[in-house]
Amino acid sequence: MITNKTYHIFLWLAALLAFTSCQQVVVRVDSVPANTPKDQPIYITGNFNNWDPGDERYRMTRNADSSYTILLPPGFGTVSYKFTRGDWTTVEKDICGYEIDNRELELGESDTVSAAIESWNDLDPLDCPRLTLVIDSLPAGTPDEDVIALAGNFNAWNPDEEAVLKKDSFGKYSLTIERVPGISELEFKVTRGNLATSESDEFGNVIPNRSVKFGVKDTVKLAIEGWMDKTSETKNNRVILIIKELPRSTPLNDDLYLACNLNDWTPWDRNFIFLKNSKGDYFFPFPRKKKMLEFKVTRGSWSTVEVDRFGFDIPNRIVNLQEADTVYIEISAWKDRVRVEDLELTLKLDNLPPSTPSNADFYLAGDVNGWNASRNKYRFRQGDDGNYYLDIPRTNNMLSYKITRGSWDAVEVGVNGQDIPNRSLYYKDADTITIDIANWKDKPLFDNHRVTLVIDQLPNTTPTNARIYLAPDFNGWDPEDKRLIFNRLPDGRPYITVSGGDNSFEYKITRGGWGRVEVDQYGNEIADRMLNYGFADTVYIRVAGWRDFGGRY
């Protein structure tokens, strides 16, 4: 028989058991994507707060080591949860930006649970090990039964079965490519099964290989303009005149005409008006004939005919309509729009690195201004087209220069972050000089101190199975450090992955000892190589010769 005293003891023991079983846990986020906005908080949401993504009670605390922590309320059983930056549009995703399952933990199993956030729904993933290509449009007349496949550096330019794009219910083709070790940039062309049927421009001309970097975006959309084997009939029956360069002074809405020996040199003939393609280039498809075409380009009258950059008449252009295929035209100036300013040289910043700040100013620093990195007179101005321009007086001297963002700490550098030689030009060489900036010294593309070195080419004198060593400054220039021996890729190329705390390091390649260090192809000493972290995850180099073989290649 249970007495009243026994009953109360039983209740007390049950309450004590419930109290001791009610557990709390600390959730810790050790890492977040590099593009996470620094001013935005991170929240945890789950079945403990009705999945409210912006509940201020569950705003995580940022710690001095950049981790985030929060203490979950006491409870029992399984906790399901995810991380957000305040709403469901900013919920966490996997490393390539795809949906992930709810995270789960069991209360009572551990005092602390650690997690890493790989990407956010509203931001491009940065470290995706694969890339998805989607074809948005195909040329009219593409055979429905043909396969669409990629040929590129990831498959030895062989569009095999694994490179065939899949067609969805909407008629779009796509293919996901896993990253191949040693390849940081995918180079490819779209084909219909072999390179003879590869893509072309809309006129059937060969186009450069496409290139996309892994880790920048997880999905890239493509538009195919033509096929090499599907334009041969058209291509053989016409000559394409394409205007690739126009003066900046060209009025936006003016038509361009062909005045030639085949239309009695009429400068306004509507049958000889240039058309515009999808890229904004002017072109004229001329029927192929057994004739020589003499012509000039006008804007509708002889007072608006093309001239040289100083305003002087130019000789008639000549094209053999029987032999020519595609003719590219560069127009320097118009007769009615030659001004004093046309005696200046224009520098145009064409391609800027993605790390360029949106509000950046750009300057020319050179011998023309005492190498001043921020002189306002040599600051580039942004044009209506969004590009940056700088006009400088034309003289007979050579100009040496570099581009900066206002200081030598923010000067342009090469693709791997290395210093580059001074740029140089002769003022009389061109009217407009187009400049591409690869990187900025103070703006690495990646927030990491890890890089893979791949030796693309070794001297023919390299002994079979020779060990290749990295001799860097960070190990005291030890030329045979067993911790720094190169491994081999499947194709036999040596590679090694290194990391460090500094922003850069200097190094040379050896076969073990300074008597077997790399030299140039003539056996001469070479300068120490330098590598800057953060500008590329893979750097490719070539070794020209070895000291003990006299540099013989």
The highest-level CATH class for domain 130-227 is mainly beta
pTM exceeding 0.75? no
Q: How confident is the model at residue 341 (pLDDT cuts 50, 70, 90)?
A: low
CATH number for the segment(s) 237-337: 2.60.40.10
Question: Does domain 340-440 sit in CATH 2.40.110.10?
Answer: no
Answer yes or no: is pLDDT of 235 > 70. no
Model confidence at 5, in pLDDT bands (50, 70, 90)? Answer: low
Residue 483, SS3 per DSSP: helix
Strands, sheet with 238-245, edge to edge from the N-terminal-most edge strand: 275-276, 282-287, 238-245, 326-330
- pLDDT band of residue 447 (cuts 50, 70, 90) is low
Helix (H) or strand (E) holding 4: helix 4-21
Delimit the domains of the chain by residue range: 8-120, 130-227, 237-337, 340-440, 450-549
pLDDT at 15: 47
Please state the CATH superfamily assignment of the domain spanning residues 8-120 in this structure: Immunoglobulins (2.60.40.10)
Q: Which whole-number Å values give the CA distances from 325 to 204, 238, 291, 319, in the listed order?
A: 10, 7, 14, 10
The yes-or-no verdict on residue 213 having pLDDT over 90 is no
**Structure confidence at residue 168 (pLDDT):** 87
DSSP helix/strand/coil, 473: helix
231 pLDDT band, cuts 50/70/90, is: low
Dist CA 150 CA 147 (whole Å):
10
Secondary structure of 103-140 in HEC code, one letter for each residue: EEEECCCCCEEEEECCEECCCCCCCCCEEEEEEEECCC
pLDDT band at 6 (very low <50, low <70, confident <90, very high): low
Q: pLDDT at residue 327 above 80?
A: yes
Beta-sheet pairing, 381-382 with 333-334: unpaired
Q: Do domains 8-120 and 340-440 have the same CATH topology?
A: yes
Burial grade of 404 (CB within 10 A; 0-12, 13-18, 19 or more): buried
Tally the residues of the chain: 553
What CA–CA distance (Å, rounded) separates 267 from 260? Answer: 8
**Percent of all residues in the chain with a pLDDT value above 70, rounded to a whole number:** 91
For residues 426 and 283, the model is more confident at 283
Instruction: Single out the residue of 357, 413, 356, 446 nearest to residue 33, CA to CA.
Output: 446
Alpha-carbon separation of residue 210 from 152, 153, 416 (angstroms):
9, 11, 20
Distance CA 225, CA 205 (A): 10
CA distance 63 to 74: 22
Q: 498 pLDDT exceeds 50?
A: yes
Average pLDDT, the chain: 88
Question: Is the pLDDT reported for residue 515 higher than 80?
Answer: yes
Residue range 450-549 forms a domain whose CATH class is mainly beta
Instruction: Identify residue 552 by its one-letter amino acid code.
Output: R
pLDDT tens, position by position, 35-49: 999 999 999 999 999
Amino acid in the structure at residue 430: A
